[in-house]
């Protein structure tokens, strides 16, 4: 049988990094194996289902470059792909009854108060909490019929065999054994007739011919119940693959303090979709060598289940920034310009940088005005803008970084770093240096290189620092940036003179 894998989210919130990694791994595996990838929406919890979340999942995954062969948005031979629609189509009820008829499931009429009392007694007696039978597991047919006749609401529960071992083969962890006596009888069908995750997902995985179930390791404890369901139906089990948890660089549970966790926020912060994909692919998986920067084709070719690791995968934001900077440096200037303009014109980018957080604070109030300036500048002197972009391309790590990096090219009077001004512009040789530059204007890198080197030698400076640093501060307001001679040539003699005279006047 050819490989068929699924990404099956419950869209109740936002798409986060953990879900993105699952979607990415199933995509890489499907493409590596020449198989099929489908999207299934697990919306049986109707009280929490959010249609906007479903749409965000699809659009965000599409931005990252994860597309599906089948799903609710593209159709396919196993429609419908939303579990609520599958329930309405009558797919689950006859299969649930099949389990009841075979003795593998039973109706349970316990009230909410009775279930609460059961848990309290278990806790008092320091027993495992859960439903291990109550009075309904072994109820007689007469008791069940009487309860139904009274109109008592009930659920259908899985009958877990007692006194046996249930073995699950996991592609990462190998053979895992579970004592059946530690497993409670989970609800398969709720009182409203809606199936639970435990039931619907396994039924759908069989009917949709899923060959590999790839999901987070939090489902390891449920895997014996799921494997048992396949056995109770007499269906072949798919391969279970439980992915390791993602932690921060400090080894603790991933949270906002380790970086954004909503995938769309990485777009707003200026990360390229392939850099994010490349980065996420390496959290808990290794290609078998020391490669880090990989193309789409290389990721697909290298992806192998044997490269998945059972230990927690670390989310290292600095590594993501490095990969993103590498991605930016691989672009031509025209490609970079296209990506940058698409980024600054995206409505979500504007809303992200202007939206206050839970404390009422803007992420960084200086970012959006700078990004907005980029769009305006690109609509003006495009050749000047592209030349400035090229100078900063080697230095930035995200598209958002260009707002600050290009600012001194695009404003008449860049903001000055007070410490840099105090350190470099107060030195006694600076006024004469600036007057010399003003008196010898030029328009090429070579001109300014020769001019400043000759001035330094003529005035007894053994190193070029005392010449370069004050000039850079006067022109850019900073002590760092692209090559001084290159940026002077790009600024041109008029801007160079105006900024040097400003510095002289301030002195």
Which residues are part of the catalytic machinery?
256
The 8-class DSSP code of residue 352 comes to H
Q: Cα dist. 252→88, 312, 504 in Å? A: 42, 10, 53
Are 36 and 2 spatial neighbours (Cβ–Cβ below 8 Å)?
Answer: yes
Q: Cα dist. 376→55, 204, 342, 372, 413 in Å? A: 31, 52, 13, 7, 17
Q: Cα dist. 130→76, 133, 134, 208, 222 in Å? A: 39, 9, 10, 31, 13
Question: Which two tokens mark 486?
Answer: 């290159």
Are 316 and 327 spatial neighbours (Cβ–Cβ below 8 Å)?
Answer: no
Question: Which two tokens mark 55?
Answer: 């749409």
**What are the strands of the beta sheet with 165-170, ordered from one edge?**
36-39, 4-7, 212-216, 239-243, 165-170, 174-179
The 8-class DSSP code of residue 237 comes to P
Q: Cα dist. 293→282, 305, 489 in Å? A: 10, 20, 34
Are 375 and 315 spatial neighbours (Cβ–Cβ below 8 Å)?
Answer: no
Residue 80: cis peptide before it, omega within 30 degrees of 0: yes
- Cα–Cα distance for residue pair 157/137, rounded to 1 Å: 9
- Cα–Cα distance for residue pair 229/3, rounded to 1 Å: 21
Question: Which two tokens mark 228?
Answer: 């048992």
């Amino acid at each position: 049988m050819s490989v068929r894998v699924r990404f099956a989210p419950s869209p109740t919130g936002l798409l986060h990094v953990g879900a993105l990694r699952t979607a990415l791994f199933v995509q890489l595996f499907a493409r590596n194996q020449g198989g099929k990838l489908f999207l299934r929406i697990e919306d049986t919890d109707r009280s929490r289902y959010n249609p906007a979340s479903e749409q965000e999942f699809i659009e965000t995954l599409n931005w990252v470059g994860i597309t599906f062969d089948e799903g609710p948005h593209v159709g396919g031979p196993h429609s419908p792909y939303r579990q609520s629609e599958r329930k309405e189509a009558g797919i689950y009820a006859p299969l649930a009854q099949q389990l009841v008829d075979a003795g593998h499931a039973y109706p349970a009429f316990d009230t909410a108060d009775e279930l609460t009392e059961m848990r309290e007694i278990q806790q008092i007696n320091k027993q495992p909490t859960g439903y291990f039978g109550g009075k309904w597991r072994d109820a007689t047919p007469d008791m069940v019929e009487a309860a139904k006749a009274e109109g008592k609401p009930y659920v259908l529960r899985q009958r877990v065999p007692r006194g046996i071992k249930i073995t699950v083969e996991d592609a990462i962890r190998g053979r895992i054994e579970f004592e059946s006596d530690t497993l409670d009888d989970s609800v398969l069908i709720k009182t409203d007739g809606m199936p639970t995750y435990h039931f619907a997902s396994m039924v759908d995985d069989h009917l949709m011919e899923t060959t590999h179930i790839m999901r987070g390791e939090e489902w390891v404890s449920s895997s014996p119940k799921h494997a048992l369901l396949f056995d109770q139906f007499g269906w072949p089990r798919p391969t279970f693959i439980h992915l390791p948890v993602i932690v921060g660089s400090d080894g603790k549970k991933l949270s906002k303090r380790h970086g954004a966790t909503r995938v769309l926020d990485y777009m707003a912060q200026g990360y390229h979709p392939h850099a994010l994909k490349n980065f996420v692919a390496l959290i808990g998986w290794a290609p078998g060598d020391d490669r880090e920067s990989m193309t789409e084709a290389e990721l697909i070719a290298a992806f192998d289940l044997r490269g998945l690791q059972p230990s927690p995968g670390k989310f290292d934001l600095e590594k993501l920034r490095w990969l993103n900077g590498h991605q930016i440096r691989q672009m031509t200037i025209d490609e970079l310009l296209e990506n940058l303009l698409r980024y600054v014109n995206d409505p979500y980018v504007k809303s992200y940088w202007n939206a206050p957080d839970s404390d009422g604070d803007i992420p960084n109030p200086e970012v959006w005005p700078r990004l907005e300036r980029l769009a305006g500048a690109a609509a003006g002197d495009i050749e000047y803008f592209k030349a400035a972009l090229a100078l900063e391309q080697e230095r930035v790590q995200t598209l958002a970084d260009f707002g600050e990096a290009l600012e001194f090219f695009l404003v008449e009077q860049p903001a000055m770093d007070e410490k840099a001004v105090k350190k470099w512009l107060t030195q006694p040789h600076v006024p004469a240096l600036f007057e010399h530059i003003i008196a010898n204007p030029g328009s090429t890198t070579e001109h300014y290189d020769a001019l400043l080197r000759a001035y330094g030698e003529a005035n007894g400076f053994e190193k070029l620092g005392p010449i370069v640093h004050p000039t850079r501060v006067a022109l850019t307001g900073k002590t760092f940036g692209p090559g001084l001679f290159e940026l002077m040539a790009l600024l041109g003699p008029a801007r160079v003179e105006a900024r040097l005279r400003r510095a002289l006047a301030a002195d």
